[in-house]
Amino acid sequence: MKSFGFILLSLLSFSNLIEANLSFDYYTKTCPEFEQTLVQIVTEKQIAAPTTAAGTLRLFFHDCMVDGCDASILVASTPRKTSERDADINRSLPGDAFDLITRIKTAVELKCPNVVSCSDILVGATRSLVTMVGGPRINVKFGRKDSLVSVMDRVEGKLARPNMTMDHIVSIFESAGLNVQEMVALVGAHTIGFSHCKEFASRIFNNSASPEGMNPKYAAELRKLCANYTTDEEMSAFNDVFTPGKFDNMYYKNLKHGYGLLESDQAIAFDSRTGPLVDLYAANETAFFEAFAKAMEKVSEQKMKTEKLGDVRRRCDQYNDYKG
């Protein structure tokens, strides 16, 4: 009887292990049109709204850096509970990224209901968009489940802010299981997209001269661009002033010449721990692409939710048991 109990326990443990495993062909049998549907909608959305790639990549990070890639960032707040989505640092996340995930989820649910998780959709969409705008291929696996909770208070301290010290930023990435080399590679995502003026206003307006490390002419142009940022919160500047829509290594080249937009960006170029990596990626795009893809794959697979800790949401912005 004892041996039977041991065998049963072993089988259950093995079953849980299978549930926890990600694979490239996870949906091959259960939703064979998933990949094709995702790529088609991603392509249409990126053509219609070219900032979608950067927005979705940012959404990916804001989801995965807080308790893993579990689509908790997509859950809308209710009168009784405020979700991650409404945390201060997440309020500027772009609507186009949320819209993309909703479109894909809607289309996939029509083909194979209650099969594909929102977390897998976000990871897959991010992968496709990075490649679409010139970046490396990221080999992502599928099989994640969506979180059963999304709490605003869990966000603070998990995401880096532009005015943090390099020590603080390094500690945030280390707490997420990422080393300095992986951090510098991932920050290269700033090669696409933009930042709102309020995120770097203190850097350009609190200095009578040019901010430390910033090209004087660049600083002057930013002051002109952001002159009315206090009355127009949507005022923004490209993170990479030269090739803002192309995923390349120009971000690192910019840092070496004083064109780093955020204070934290410029600090990476001069810190003894990160500076040599900035030099490497500025000189060798292939090295950057390889490091970025590998780090993204690592981020996408950490703290994965299994069947016991998650499920497949029917709507990405609501839990399945939401009563309204």
- Whether residue 86 is annotated as binding a ligand: the answer is no
- Whether residue 190 is annotated as binding a ligand: the answer is yes
Q: What share of the chain is helix, strand, coil (3-state, %, to 5)?
A: 55, 5, 45
- Whether residue 88 is annotated as binding a ligand: the answer is no
- Whether residue 72 is annotated as binding a ligand: the answer is yes
From residue 292, alpha-carbon distances to 186, 256, 263 in Å are: 6, 19, 21
Active-site residue, selected from the candidate residues 62, 168, 196, 257: 62
Strand partners, 237: 195
- Whether residue 66 is annotated as binding a ligand: the answer is yes
- Whether residue 128 is annotated as binding a ligand: the answer is no
* Segment holding 116, helix H or strand E: none
**Coil vs helix vs strand at 153:** helix
**CA-wise closest residue to 39 among 152, 166, 171, 132:** 132
Distance CA 62, CA 84 (A): 9
Q: Say whether 62 is catalytic.
A: yes
In this structure, how many other beta carbons lie within 10 angstroms of the beta carbon of residue 18?
12
**CA-wise closest residue to 298 among 186, 192, 188, 190:** 186
- Whether residue 99 is annotated as binding a ligand: the answer is no
Tell me the residue ranges of DSSP E strands in 102-164.
Answer: 146-147
Active-site annotation, residues: 62
Residue stretches of the annotated binding site for heme b: 190
Residue stretches of the annotated binding site for Ca(2+): 63, 66, 68, 70, 72, 84, 191, 240, 243, 248
Residue stretches of the annotated binding site: 63, 66, 68, 70, 72, 84, 190-191, 240, 243, 248
